[in-house]
Structure 1
Amino acid sequence: MSRDLLRFATAGSVDDGKSTLVGRLLYDTKSVLADQIEAVERASVDKGMSTPDLSLLVDGLRAEREQGITIDVAYRYFGTPTREFVLADTPGHVQYTRNTVTGASTAELAVLLVDARNGIVEQTRRHAAVLALLRVPRLVLAINKIDLVGYDEETLTAIAKDFAALARSVGFADEAVQVIPVSALAGDNVVERSTRTPWYDGPTLLGHLESVPVAGPEVTAPFRMPVQYVIRPRAGALPGAEERWGPLHDYRGYAGQVASGTVSPGDEVVVLPGGARTTVAGVDTADGPLDAAGAGRSVTIRLTDDIDISRGDLIAAAGAAPRVGSEIEATLCWLADKPLRAGARLLLKHGARTTQVIVGALGERLDVDSVRFVDPPEALTVNDIAMVSLRTADPLPVDDYADIRATGSFLLIDPPTGGTLAAGLVGNPLTLTSG
C-alpha cells in the first residue's frame, strides 16, 4: 500500500538549530546510512565535539561546513511506516530570503524554529510573512534549545503567546498553527516524547508530521490541468491499446498533471485561452482508465470533440473557469542580483506556456521587518517582495494565488541567459491585520 507524501520546509533565524533538527529527524528515524553516520562522527571528533554534529547530515556545501551556517536549500527524503517526506531545509540569513521562498513554494507545512533563549526575533517575523505570502497551509512553531532555559514552562508559554499574535497578524488561523517545544541537540520531543517536559501534552514533531492532514486547498478547488503533451500513439506502441480504445489512429489524448480539483468522464470542461467547451470522454493512465483523478495525479484526458489543443493550454472546469487576459497584477519575489525596473522586457513562464512580458508600474513593497506594505521603490533588488503590473504578449488563464497556487504562480526569466529572475504570485496573497 502506498503511503502519503508530505512536503515540508524548515525556516528560522541563524543558529536556531534548523540543520541540527533536520539531522535529528534523519538520525532518529534511521534514515541515514551507516557510512554517513561514521563520516559525521569523524568530522565531529575533528572539531573537538564529544557528540555527533547532526547538522553535518544536512549542510553539504564546503562553505556551509566551514562557516557553520546553511546557505543553499538542502532537500532530504525520508520516510516512516506511516508517511513519506520531502524536506527542504532553508537558510536563516536575511540575504538568503530568496532561498526560503524557493524551499517553501511547494510546501504543505513549514516548521519555523525559534531559540527558546531569544523568543520571537525579526527573522521570525520575516519568515512568518513569507510563509503566509506563499499560502503554506500549516505551520509548526518549534521552540528549540529548551534545555538551555531549564525546560521552563513559563518561558515557552510566553513565546507561544507572542507568536500566536504574529501568526494571526499575517493571516494564519489558530487551528493551522502547532507549537512544539523541542531540543534538537538532546532529542526532546523531536521523535521521542521527553520526560523533562511533563507539562507539555501535545505531539512530538515527528508525530505531528505523521498525522497532520496532507490534503491541501487544491483538492477541493475547481479542476485545472495544464497540457504538457498531446498524445497520438503509433500502431504497436501501446500493447493492448487497440482493444481498449479502438484504432490508434483515432486516439488523441492530452497529458498532464491535475493541478487542482477532480476530473471524471462526463465532466464539462473549457480549453483556455481559446475558450472552446467540450466534455471529458475518458481519463487514462498507463495502468488503465480511471473513474476520477484528483490533484497531483498525472493522467491523459480524452475529449468528446476534436479541438485544437497544444502544449501550454489549460483544461479547466467549465462552470468555474479562471480569468483570461494579458494584464496581470501580481506580487513578485525578486530573486536576482540585478535590479528590476519598470519597462523591463522579460519572459514569463506560466504552467507549460512561456510568453514575453513587459513590466509595468512597480507597486507597494513589503517591508518584511515591520510586516507592512510601504511606498513603491524605484527598482526591485534581490530579496525584495512587491506588487507589480505586467502585460503579456499572449493572453493567459490565471487564478489568484490565494485561490489556486498552481495556476496563480509563475516565473520571470531572463531572455539572454534563461535564468530565473523572480517568483510571481497573481494578486496579493498576504492578508495583514493589526492583531
Structure 2
Amino acid sequence: MSAPLDPVYKTDALIAEDIDRYLDVHQHKTMLRFITCGSVDDGKSTLIGRLLYDSKMIFEDQLAALEADSKKVGTQGQELDFALLVDGLAAEREQGITIDVAYRFFATEKRKFIVADTPGHEQYTRNMVTGASTADLAVILVDARKGVLTQTRRHSYLAHLIGIRNIVLAVNKMDLVGYNREVFEKIVADYRAFASSIGITDFVALPISGFKGDNITTLSPNTPWHAGPTLMEHLETVEIDAAHDAAKPFRMAVQWVNRPNLDFRGFAGLISTGTVKPGDAIRVLPSGKTSTVSRIVTLDGDLKEAVAGQSVTLCLADEIDCSRGDVIAAADAPVQAADQFEAVIVWMDEQPMLPGRPYWLKLGTQTVSATVTEPKYQVNVNNMDHLAAKTLELNAIGSCNIATDRRIPFEPYGENRELGGFILIDKMTNATVGAGMIHFALRRSDNVHWQATDISREHHAALKNQKPAVVWLTGLSGAGKSTIANLVEKKLARMNRHTFLLDGDNVRHGLNKDLGFTAADRVENIRRVGEVAKLMTDAGLIVITAFISPFRAERDMVRGMMQPGEFFEVFIDTPLAEAERRDVKGLYKKARAGQLKNFTGIDSPYEAPAAPELRVDTTAMDAEEAAEAIVRMLVP
C-alpha cells in the first residue's frame, strides 16, 4: 500500500494519483464475511464493538455517543461499553441481549470485513441462521466461566450444517478466570469432543477478553502461554471459499432476461462458481439446451473472462429458450435437475410445519411450489441423536423429503450453497417459515416419468357430453355439506350427468383410514382427496366433495391441481352456534367435554373462504334450495 498522503509536499496531480492508488488497493481487497455466535452473554456484541474500535472504524460522533451511552448503562468501571455499538434496538439495550442480526462493516490494511452479530437466545435461533447463511467463518464464543453450553452446540451444529468450514473457538472473558490456562484447555478439549461428533475436524482456539482487549488485535502479556495468532491476525489471513469457487465448474443462475431492444438478448445473473469466456460451450438447465457464449456484457464494457462473484450478462450464439430461474452451466459439467429431494430443514416459524401443505420454495432465482413430507427424524443438538417426529416446531432441525411441482436445477448444498440452499415461504402470509439444505435428489425422481396416453381428458369429457368439474363443499361440521352434496348429485343424475361424490367420512373408511385429525393429518387428508378428484376430472367426471377442509391453503392447493375454471368452491355458511345446536353426530358435545381433540370450531380453527364461487347461507335457505343453486352454477 502507498505511504500516507501528504498534501503539503505533493502536487495536486500526485495527490490524485495517491488517492487513485489507495482506492484501487482498497477495492481489490478480499472480503471476509463472518458471524459471532454462541450462548447468551458470551460477549458477542462486546467483541464486535472492540473490533470496530480497534480497527478505527468509529466516527467521532459515534464515539461521543458511545461514551454518553456507556455512562448511562454503567460498565463495571470500564470507560466504554462496546456492545452498545452493535445492540441498536431499544429492547436489546434494555435487556442487555442481542435480538436481531446486526451487520457491521470494517476494514484493515489487509482485508475488508462484514460481521454479523447473531442472537444467543434459543428463541432467536432463526435469526442466527439468517446471519450464517452468507458467512465464510464463524466465531463461536464460550464464556470461560461456563464452558460449552447447549447453545454453543446448537450454533456450532448450525454453522457446520450451513456449510461454514472455518471455525474459531473464542474462549472469552479469560480475565474473569485469571487467565487460567487449564480452564482454557479443558474448554477446548470439551469442544473438540463435541465438534468431532458433528464433523468439525479442525478449528482455531483462542483465549480472549473482548472486555479488556486481550488477544484481539495484539498478543496479551496476560496469556504468555498462548503463542498466537490474535483474532484479528487470523481473520486477516484465513483462506476463504471464494478462491475455491473459481476452480469449480461454471454455474450462473439467470436472474433477468435483458432485452432492451430487438437487436440484443442477454441473460443476467451472478456467477456462483467457475469462470466463463466467449466461445465456451454451455448448457441451460432444466431444458438441457446447449449453445456457446458469444459475449460477456457489463456496464463497463465486454469482458474477455468472468469469474465467480461477478454479475454479468451473457449473450449466446443460439436463440434458445432460457428464462429467470434457469441455470447456465458448463456444457461438459452441467448441474442436476430433479423434482424430489432429501433435505435438512431448520424450521423458523411459530406455527409448526404441516407435512403435505404446499409452500413456496425459493432456491437461487427460482420459486416453485413444494410439499414437505413428515420428518424422517429430528436432530437433538445436544447429543446428535435422531428423534422421531411428526412435524417440526420453531427452531427444530429435521431431515425431510421435498417434492416440487416441476423439475428444478440444483446442486447438493455441500458443493454449492447458492444452488443447494433454499427457503420455504408460507403461501398465505408470505412469511419465511423455514430454511433448508438439499442433500441429494431422490432416485425415484429419475425413475418416475409421465406416461403419454392416446385418449385425452378432452376425449373422456366428450364421451360424457359434459365439462369436468370439482364442486368443493366446505364448512363446519354439521353445516349440512353431506346432505346438500347428496341432493346435488341426485339432481345432476336426473340430468344424465356423470358424477361421483367424495364424502369426508366415507374416504376415512378406506383411502384415509390411517389419518387422524391433527392439523398435519387434515392437510394430508385433503391432499389425497385432491389427487383423487384430479384423476376423476381427467376421466371427464363431475366430482362433488363434502369436507370440512378447514384451511384455505389446502383448498387453494386443490384448486391449483385442476384446470382453470373447473374448481368451484362452495362455502356452506352455517354459524357455529347453529351447527352446534344441530349436532347430529354428538361431536360438539364430545369436543366441549374434552373427549374429542382438534375439533374444528372448538379447539381447532376454521378459515372461511375469502372469495368462494358460491356462498350458501343455511339460515336463509334450506338444503333443497342450496342444491338447486349449486346445480344452476354448474349447468346454467
Q: Deviations over 1:196-236 (max 9, x none)?
A: 112111211111111111234433332211111112234xx
| 2:59 counterpart residue number | 33
| 1:117 counterpart residue number | 145
Taking the aligned partners of 2:434 and 2:245, their CA distance within structure 1 comes to: 23
- What are the within-5 Å matches in structure 2 for residues 3-402 of structure 1? 3-49=29-75, 50=77, 51-174=79-202, 177-216=203-242, 217-234=244-261, 249-375=262-388, 377-402=389-414
Report the more deviating stretch, 101-110 or 218-227: 218-227
Taking the aligned partners of 2:362 and 2:373, their CA distance within structure 1 comes to: 17
Q: Deviations over 1:379-419 (max 9, x none)?
A: 21110111111211121011111111110011111112211
| 2:583 counterpart residue number | none
For this pair of structures, how many residues does the alignment match?
411
TM-score, with structure 2 as normaliser: 0.63
Deviation at 1:261, TM superposition (A): 1.8
Deviation at 1:83, TM superposition (A): 1.1
| 2:465 counterpart residue number | none
Q: Deviations over 1:245-304 (max 9, x none)?
A: xxxx43321110001122222222110111101122222222222232222111111111
Deviation at 1:133, TM superposition (A): 0.5
Report the more deviating stretch, 186-195 or 207-216: 207-216
Report the more deviating stretch, 179-188 or 260-269: 260-269
Report if the CA contact (8 A) 1:221-1:404 is conserved. Answer: no
| 1:432 counterpart residue number | none
Report the more deviating stretch, 389-398 or 159-168: 159-168
Local SS of the residue matching 2:272: coil
Local SS of the residue matching 1:11: strand
Match of 2:423 among 411, 421, 430: 411
Aligned AA (1:11): C
Could you say which structure has the higher strand fraction? 1
Local SS of the residue matching 1:427: strand
Aligned AA (1:138): N
Deviation at 1:112, TM superposition (A): 0.4
Local SS of the residue matching 1:354: strand
Report if the CA contact (8 A) 1:73-1:99 is conserved. Answer: yes
**Closer, same or farther in 2 for the Cα pair 1:173/1:218, shift >3 Å?**
farther
Taking the aligned partners of 2:395 and 2:245, their CA distance within structure 1 comes to: 27
Report if the CA contact (8 A) 2:374-2:391 is conserved. Answer: no
Local SS of the residue matching 2:325: coil
Taking the aligned partners of 2:227 and 2:387, their CA distance within structure 1 comes to: 42
Aligned AA (1:145): K
Aligned AA (2:306): A
Report if the CA contact (8 A) 1:129-1:371 is conserved. Answer: no
RMSD (Å) for aligned C-alpha atoms: 1.5
Deviation at 1:360, TM superposition (A): 2.4
Report if the CA contact (8 A) 1:334-1:383 is conserved. Answer: yes
Structure with higher RCO (Cα < 8 A, 6+ apart)? 1
Taking the aligned partners of 2:380 and 2:248, their CA distance within structure 1 comes to: 31
Report if the CA contact (8 A) 2:379-2:386 is conserved. Answer: yes
TM-score, with structure 1 as normaliser: 0.91
Taking the aligned partners of 2:268 and 2:74, their CA distance within structure 1 comes to: 55
- Give the structure with higher Rg (CA): 2
Aligned AA (2:252): M
Taking the aligned partners of 1:97 and 1:341, their CA distance within structure 2 comes to: 20
Could you say which structure has the higher helix fraction? 2
Local SS of the residue matching 2:139: strand
Taking the aligned partners of 1:107 and 1:382, their CA distance within structure 2 comes to: 23
Taking the aligned partners of 1:136 and 1:296, their CA distance within structure 2 comes to: 18
